Chains A and B, each alone.
Chain A
Amino acid sequence: MSGVFSPTRAKIKERTLRTDKWWIEPLITFSVLISFIFYATFRAFENANYFAEPLISPFYSPCLSTACVKGASLIGTPIGTLAIFGMVISPALFILIFPLGFRMTCYYYRKAYYRSFWMSPPACAVAEPHEKYTGETRAPLIMQNAHRWFFYAGLVFNVLLSIDAILAFKNTDGQWGHMSVGSLVLLANATLLWGYSASCHTCRHTLGGRLKHFSKHPIRYKLWTQASALNHYHQQFAWVSLFGVAFADIYVRAVASGAITNFYFF
């Protein structure tokens, strides 16, 4: 008997005496995240409908494989067409580890999935079901310390997706000065991703959080205060940017598959 049922503690048989609906939040989190995981997995393996000039899905950008459809590769195709059992590996599978790793190791998402998937704990003051707990002190969870590595990789992706958004202000013939619904969708996606990165705890730390003397580094202090202000909304950025990525992909897929036409304002 451990935890709240330890022999020295007050003898209360219930795992929690909370009377509010504490299970709603982890349930919603679980439902949304699992839906995203299923959708992202389907799309990563679909290997189709990810490019419709000038729009590219964020799941497939940068498209690095020679298997990419014509025009989809922004920075070349250093990876050849690889296949397993005769099936071509989707270009998305070469890159998704980076945004996935960034979100998996994110301090906000850790809270979200530790509570909703692993129930460690499911909610505050609700006893968790696990017999043992070692936290992030050993493998595999010690890998959470790699968040900074993924943060740097995420910045590279933000730059590339921003270029995708700028390129989306072309028309289907490659001429500049046009704007479509797709342009706005990719622009919103890139903006939200920058917001998510700028509000990240690692960003805040890198800009000035690691300092001992704010007074000796006034510029970094200023940057830190601004990152701190954004950091208050990191949870919101985490969710909205996730929806942004999914929506951008859904939109590009719909255009690329011919289900809808990308409407041009001018």
Chain B
Amino acid sequence: MSLLELEGITASYGASQALFGVDLTVDEGEVVALMGRNGMGKSTTINVICRLLKNQSGTARFAGQDLSSYPSYRAARLGLGLVPEGRRCFSSLTVWENLMASARKGEWDLNRVGRLFPRLQERLDQYAGSLSGGEQQMLSIGRALMTNPRILILDEATEGLAPVIRQEIWKAISELKKDTGLSILVVDKTIKELALVADKAVILERGRTVWNGQFQSLDATITDQYLGV
């Protein structure tokens, strides 16, 4: 049984339907890339997984539980660790406070997050609002890890960051994969960097899953058809 399973998910924002049938599975220890052009439903799919948006039909299951009756905070407790788009750190709290506010017991603690992101370790007493974009992104990932999730969900984790910082974050993600065997669902647009970590890929087009398979078997025809501009 897969850790995360979406089947035939449809969802709307008010009157406008955004998802028309999304299928997606993430197995234990697997890194899945969720891809597609802008506005194809990637973030909406993540909102449905995290129960920030209710799906109208289809089933969403995590760790064997049907998520439909779960409010957002209880779904998170099952082990969904979201790194939201746009980072959204708590800007008036320090780095230390941001991390402690979300801490739950488990392997991940302040020391381990500090080892993964030494930059955070150096800035524990700095306010999150005064961090650079890359540091805020690291904090956002650290905050999700502090909840000791079973799956890490990264929504556009490297968007708008300097190339050096992007590399640092991708390095951290591949370290996570190698050292912990954490399941990861990652939304991103850069195929080259996803190739470093992803086992599988799911491509969305107009709110529907249109391609689903091993990341290596993604070829130019597919990427041109669904991801090219």
* Chains A and B belong together in one complex: no
Report B's interface with A, CB cutoff 8 A.
none
Report A's interface with B, CB cutoff 8 A.
none
